[in-house]
Structure 1
């Protein structure tokens, strides 16, 4: 019995040592991603974007001589699951930092775990204003919806697009669409002197939108501001057109996925919106976009191009690699707390260039990114205007 106990202890020690050794062989990043639930469609393709970046970095020798390793957790589009993923990746997997979670709703909950566990969580899509305010470990490689919609309104004003009146339609059970439709759109339209009616709510499960859309069309507005993820925005736009709306549909970056060219179809002509990524902005962006389309096809996902959240996911990996190299991160489990802190401190004054743009930086926990005003013309995604990234404060170098 004693021999058996001794052997078991020896085996346990060997397994424990092997686990530590394995952990030291790679630099581990977590990735919280919705692989199921309503956010699977827009969120899952980020897997391809991240894997492309990891492949590039590891093919070039890794970071400080060690390859990157991605440890994934399915949030199931549920904020509580995203928080569980953050705890699991922090405590059980010993990751150095986390990419994700995807949505505003998930990030609002999971960011609190990042604060408790003291590791950087870099959301790759959440864009509601103020999510990182007052937090030390919550970061976003995204652009604020309010800032992007302001840029759109600036372009409409500059180009003297008809805007005497507007209506607002939003998907009430999408957290970001709810925030945009009930708070951002009304305030910003008013700030630009554009009168609007009461925001009209629709839901995921709305089968017949005719009753909600009819009053919108009856006011004959120049603009209808739509807030919703692509599939629900498509339902709204189809119903607007079916009822005879002939004005311009506008939006922030919530539905700015290249796949809307198919989802919206012929009815999308003239739809104008913001995007945080444009494949023609640089040769690197175009190359990434082409690789991304191929990679998602291999996953069985049809993509007409990369969404800005995909480009943000790709750049997040390269950003972490740069910071880890600059901070001399080793992946040694004995230094985990110290190295997590070093990554956070390194982000504070980093500048980075990638497919999102050149010499980008962070103001607080949020990246300062460019914005592109896109319109659909003759069935194609066309650049109408562009806005440079805002500068960071003097501490960024």
Structure 2
């Protein structure tokens, strides 16, 4: 399935940021929710615009508990300190009880531990995958306030190892960003590669903002790997890959979804990315996921091809459904307690759009539960606020980012089980 470029999508979606559609019956009240998302990077703008798209649909359907929703958006710049400051402002100044975000686990974790947990605010992330959240929840330290619609790093790590095995690579060096997310996925992919009998010649951490990564690249080159695995964001990814190629490193590359970016492809050069394959979680091949693609394309005149878009939509819709179920004036904890009620497999199925939200209002008001059929399928959270997901393998082409292989949820789970 060929896709359009993220750059064009980002420009079109950027215009949608901050737009609050108030078609339909006017409301005398407004309820604020917070969003901390990286709108200063090319792939972050569409994620934020997709969250606003969900808010707009709910407002068109009459809002939450009769009030229009205002999504107050602040930029994290994919920086933990900036993200924490943004979240504090939303909680302390705007009084939000629901916070959407963040994208990077390295930003979401300090927001969770230093802002939302102390304030009793529910946090719903579209795009944080570190297994550190699972551990924290399993220890009872998230107090039921944490959810994410993106599968853990374990899925991407396993798929990265699968790509290496399918390509016949015997040795791989790993570059990972030196933050919570990078450390987590770097450790996981190393274990998965070794479980498949593939030698890990080196595992090298990259710190953000360095003027050069020559020392780190030289270290990794010493192991003479057949391929490299990259768990980096575009800024350091571009710099590291340029150094790698200039010093004669292999063009056999496997990349995490954080590099699913036109910025990365354009600054490295497509001529050097012919042997690059990426991994990402995916929406299931389900009617609800197809319906989201159709509605999204109608809204933005471009398919939802960037990372985290379907996840952002579902995170927003589920949070708003939980607010509706909790009732007007509910606390963050009371809202979080209703997530299971709006994602209940025994409940009434509802579609992921304004009509579905309106239907949910009727069911919930009569004391029933609903089962949200989302952009990422029939969303269900486990006791730690985690979800499972299928996966895709993708590549960079002249036409944009192109899907090469779809791996169903059953296939993902079976492959991950085999690694153990």
- Could you say which TM-score interval applies, normalised by the shorter chain? 0.7 to 0.9
- Residues 1:184 and 2:188 are matched in the alignment: yes
C-alpha distance 336-93 of structure 1, shift in aligned 2 (>3 A): farther
SS in 2 for 1:131: helix
For residue 327 of structure 2, the aligned residue among 329, 332, 356 is: 329
* Residues 243-322 of structure 1 aligned to structure 2 (within 5 Å): 243-257=247-261, 259-266=263-270, 267-277=272-282, 282-287=289-294, 290=297, 306-322=305-321
Deviation at 1:365, TM superposition (A): 1.3
- Residues 1:126 and 2:128 are matched in the alignment: yes
C-alpha distance 153-75 of structure 1, shift in aligned 2 (>3 A): closer
Deviation at 1:346, TM superposition (A): 1.9
More displaced 10-residue stretch of structure 1: 362-371 or 236-245: 236-245
C-alpha distance 231-89 of structure 1, shift in aligned 2 (>3 A): closer
Counterpart Cα distance in 1 of 2:57 and 2:311: 16
List, as ranges, runs of 4+ consecutive aligned residues in structure 1 with deviation greater than 6 Å. Answer: 278-281
Compare CA radii of gyration and give the structure with the larger one: 1
C-alpha distance 258-104 of structure 1, shift in aligned 2 (>3 A): same
Gaps of 5+ in 2: 1-26, 344-370, 414-420
Structure number with the bigger relative contact order (C-alpha 8 A, sep ≥ 6) is 2
C-alpha distance 248-140 of structure 1, shift in aligned 2 (>3 A): same
C-alpha distance 360-269 of structure 1, shift in aligned 2 (>3 A): same
Counterpart Cα distance in 2 of 1:34 and 1:120: 19
Match in the other structure for 2:363: none
Deviation at 1:187, TM superposition (A): 1.9
- Residues 1:94 and 2:95 are matched in the alignment: yes
* Structure 1 vs Structure 2 CA RMSD: 3.4
C-alpha distance 178-293 of structure 1, shift in aligned 2 (>3 A): farther
Deviation at 1:163, TM superposition (A): 1.7
Q: Is the 8 A contact 2:173 2:202 kept in 1?
A: yes
Match in the other structure for 2:335: 343
Match in the other structure for 1:145: 153
SS in 1 for 2:106: helix
Gaps of 5+ in 1: 1-22, 296-303, 393-397
- Residues 1:360 and 2:351 are matched in the alignment: no
Deviation at 1:49, TM superposition (A): 1.8
Counterpart Cα distance in 2 of 1:161 and 1:293: 36
Q: Is the 8 A contact 1:280 1:286 kept in 2?
A: no
Counterpart Cα distance in 1 of 2:157 and 2:267: 22
Counterpart Cα distance in 2 of 1:46 and 1:109: 20
For residue 233 of structure 1, the aligned residue among 233, 237, 246 is: 237
Counterpart Cα distance in 2 of 1:85 and 1:151: 34
TM-score by length of 1: 0.75
C-alpha distance 155-286 of structure 1, shift in aligned 2 (>3 A): same
Counterpart Cα distance in 1 of 2:238 and 2:399: 14
C-alpha distance 151-290 of structure 1, shift in aligned 2 (>3 A): same
Alignment deviations for residues 73-100 of structure 1 (CA, whole Å, 9 cap, x no partner): 4445443443444444334433231101
Counterpart Cα distance in 2 of 1:224 and 1:288: 38
Deviation at 1:29, TM superposition (A): 1.3
Deviation at 1:246, TM superposition (A): 4.0
Q: Is the 8 A contact 1:279 1:285 kept in 2?
A: no
Q: How many pairs align?
A: 348
SS in 1 for 2:176: strand
Counterpart Cα distance in 2 of 1:291 and 1:359: 22
Match in the other structure for 1:18: none
Deviation at 1:306, TM superposition (A): 4.4
TM-score by length of 2: 0.71
Deviation at 1:189, TM superposition (A): 1.6
Q: Is the 8 A contact 2:131 2:184 kept in 1?
A: no
Alignment deviations for residues 150-176 of structure 1 (CA, whole Å, 9 cap, x no partner): 13323554xx3212111112343x542
Deviation at 1:342, TM superposition (A): 3.4
SS in 2 for 1:185: helix
Alignment deviations for residues 40-75 of structure 1 (CA, whole Å, 9 cap, x no partner): 454344332222222222223323433221123444
Counterpart Cα distance in 2 of 1:247 and 1:75: 32
Deviation at 1:362, TM superposition (A): 0.9
C-alpha distance 91-219 of structure 1, shift in aligned 2 (>3 A): closer
Alignment deviations for residues 300-322 of structure 1 (CA, whole Å, 9 cap, x no partner): xxxx9643233322222222233
Q: Is the 8 A contact 1:292 1:305 kept in 2?
A: no
